[in-house]
Chains A and B, each alone.
Chain A
Amino acid sequence: MIGRAVTVVLLLCVAVLFWYLATVGTQTELGSVSGHYVERGVVENRGSNLVTSVVVNYRGLDTLGEVTVLFLSVAGVAFVLRRRRRGEGDAGGTDRGPGAAAPASELVQTGARLLVGPMILYGVYIFVHGHLTPGGGFQGGAVVASAVLLLLLADRKRELPHGLMSWVESLSGFGFVVVGLLGLAVAGSFLANRGVLPLGTWNRLFSAGLIPVIYVLIGLKVGSELAALLDVMMRGGEQAAAVSHGDAGASTVRHESRVDRESRERGGSR
C-alpha cells in the first residue's frame, strides 16, 4: 500500500533529521540567561524552586498567556459540547437512554467518599508549596480536578456548583492581573516581585513575595477550569452517545442513511 510506504519514508526522514539536529551540540554549562536565573534566583525571589521562579516571575507574562490559552481551550470545548436546551433535539436530558452508563460500583462510590477530601487537600498542598518543592499551580490544580473527576465517576448525576466554580475561576484570573498591575505600580514593571510583599526568609512557607500568591491563584483557576472541562466532556460525551445510539436503532442503519445522504449530495452538486 503506497500510503503506508510514504508514511514509513516520512518517519525515517523525521528520525534522521531529528538525530542530526539533536546531536549537533551538547551543552555542558548553563547558558547566560539560565546562569543568571540560577545564580540570582534565590537572592532576587527567595524561592527555593528555581523552575517556579522562572515560570511565575521571570516569565510571568508567558504564564499569564498560558492560563489564557487553557481558559480559551476549555471555553472551546464547552462551546463544541454544549448541552442542548430542553425540548430541543433529543428527548429528555436526564434520562439518557441506551447511551447512558451504568451506575458506578460500590467500591468506586465508597472510595470516592474516602479519597476526595485528601485528594483536594493534597492538591492545595502542592500549589501552596509551589515555591519550595516540585509542583505548583498547574500541578496542584490538576490534582484538585482529578478529585472532581472521581466524584463525577462515582455519581454521574451529581451536579457540580457551576456558579461557584465560574466565580472562583474569574476571580482568580482577575487576581492574577491585579497582582501584575500591583507590580507595575510599585516596582515599575508588570508582574514584578520586588517591593509589593516582603520577600521573607528563604525556604519558609511565607517567603518569595508574590510567587505563592500567584501560584495559589493559578491553582484555583486551573483546578476549577479542568473540573469544568471534565464535567462538560462527561455530559457532552454521554449526550452524544445517546444521540448516536438513539432513535435510529442499530448503527448500521444510521451508516447506510449517511451514505445515502452523501451520494445524494454528490449527485446534486454535479
Chain B
Amino acid sequence: MTQGTLYLASALILILIGLACALMRRNLLRMVLGFAIMDTGVHLLIATAGFLPGRTAPIIDDPSLLAGAGGRTAAADPSALLVAAERVVDPVPQALVLTAIVIGVGVTALMLAYVVRLFAREGTLDVSAFRRLKW
C-alpha cells in the first residue's frame, strides 16, 4: 500500500466515522462531534489531493532548493527555481485546507451555540425530543 493510498484510506475512515456518528447518535453533542470528525477527514482528503510521493513541504527555505549557488542570487533568477518545482508538493490544496479548517471552526461554533440554546429551551440533548418541526 502506497503512502497516498494510506492517507486516502484514513480520510475515508474518518469521514465514515463522522457520518455514522452524525446519523446514528441521538445526543446533539455527539452529532456535532461527528461533524467535526467528518471535517477532519475531509481536510485530510484535500491535503492528500496535493500529495506527491517523496517530496517535501512547499517551503523554500533552503538554498539547495534554488539551483543557483546561494539563495539570494538564485531568488533573483527565475530559471533557477525549476529545481524547487520538482521537490515540493502542491501548495494549492494546502492553502485550500487552511480555508476549510477556519470555515469548519466557524460552522462547529455555530452548531454548538444552537445546541446550547436548544438545551436551555428544552432541557434535553436528545434529538428525538425535538418534535416541533416534525409533521
Enumerate chain A interface residues (CB-CB to B < 8 A): 4, 7, 10-11, 14-15, 18-19, 22-23, 26-31, 33-35, 37-43, 46, 48-51, 53-55, 59, 62-63, 66, 69-70, 72-74, 76-77, 80-81, 132-134, 136, 138, 201-203, 222, 226, 229, 233, 236-237, 239-241, 243-244, 248, 251, 254-255, 258, 262
Q: Across the interface, which residues of A come within 8 angstroms of B16, CB to CB?
A: 11, 14-15
Size of interface on B: residues with Cβ below 8 Å to A: 58
Q: How far is the CA of A178 from the CA of B88 in the complex (A)?
A: 33
Query: B72 — which chain A residues lie within 8 A by C-beta?
Result: 201-202
B109 in contact with A233 (CB, 8 Å): yes
Beta-carbon contact of B107 and A73 below 8 Å: yes
Quick one: CB contact mask for B1-23 with A, threshold 8 Å, 1 for yes? 00011001000100110011001
Which residues on B are within 8 Å of A, measured CB to CB?
A: 4-5, 8, 12, 15-16, 19-20, 23-24, 45, 49-50, 52, 57-61, 66, 71-72, 75-76, 78, 81-82, 84-85, 88, 90-92, 94-95, 98-99, 101-103, 105-107, 109-110, 112-114, 116-117, 119-120, 122-124, 129, 131-132
Q: In the complex, are the beta carbons of B12 and A15 less than 8 A apart?
A: yes
> Contact between B98 and A42 (Cβ–Cβ < 8 Å)?
no
User: What are 5 A-B residue pairs whose CB atoms fall within 8 Å in the complex?
Assistant: A18-B12, A22-B45, A49-B59, A80-B117, A241-B119
- Closest Cβ–Cβ distance, residue A66 to chain B (whole Å): 5
Residues of A within 8 A of B4 (CB): 26
Given A203-B61, A244-B123, answer yes or no on A74-B112 (Cβ-Cβ < 8 Å).
Answer: no
Q: Chain B binding site: helix, strand, loop or mixed by DSSP?
A: helix
User: Which one of A42, A53, A254 has the greatest number of beta carbons of chain B within 10 Å?
Assistant: A42
Q: Are A66 and B102 in contact (CB under 8 A)?
A: yes
Closest to B99 in A: A66
| B91, A244: Cβ atoms closer than 8 Å | no
CB distance from B125 to the nearest CB of A (A): 10
A62 to B92 CA separation, bound complex (whole angstroms): 12
User: For A38, what are the chain B residues with a Cβ–Cβ distance below 8 Å?
Assistant: 58, 81, 84-85, 88, 91
Do A134 and B103 contact each other (CB < 8 Å), given the known contacts A30-B85, A240-B119?
Answer: no
Contacts of A51 in B (CB 8 A): 58-59, 91, 94-95, 98
Cβ B81 vs Cβ A74 within 8 A: no
The answer to whether A50 and B98 have CB atoms under 8 Å apart is no
Whether the Cβ atoms of B60 and A41 lie closer than 8 Å is yes
Contact yes or no, B8 A23, CB < 8 A: yes
Is A240 a contact partner of B131 (Cβ separation < 8 A)? no
Closest Cβ of chain B to A7, distance in Å, is 5
Are A39 and B12 touching (Cβ within 8 A)?
no
How far is A237 from B117 in the complex, measured between Cα atoms in Å? 8
In Å, the complex CA distance between A233 and B112 comes to 9
Q: What residues on B are CB-neighbors of A50 within 8 Å?
A: 58-60, 88, 91
The 3 A-B pairs of least Cβ separation, nearest first, read: A73-B106, A240-B120, A202-B75
Q: What's the minimum C-beta distance from B35 to chain A, rounded to whole angstroms?
A: 14
Chain A residues whose CB sits within 8 angstroms of the CB of B129 once the complex forms: 258
Min C-beta distance of A22 to chain B, whole Å: 5
The complex places the Cα of A59 from the Cα of B119 at a distance, in Å, of 40
| CB <8 Å contact, A233 and B91 | no
- A233-B116 CB under 8 A given contacts A77-B110, A255-B124: yes
Interchain CB contact under 8 A, A46 and B75: yes
Contacts of A255 in B (CB 8 A): 123-124
Given contacts A7-B20, A55-B95, 19 further A-B contacts (CB under 8 A): A4-B24, A22-B45, A31-B92, A37-B92, A42-B60, A49-B61, A50-B58, A54-B91, A69-B102, A70-B103, A73-B106, A73-B110, A74-B109, A77-B112, A80-B114, A80-B117, A202-B71, A236-B116, A244-B119
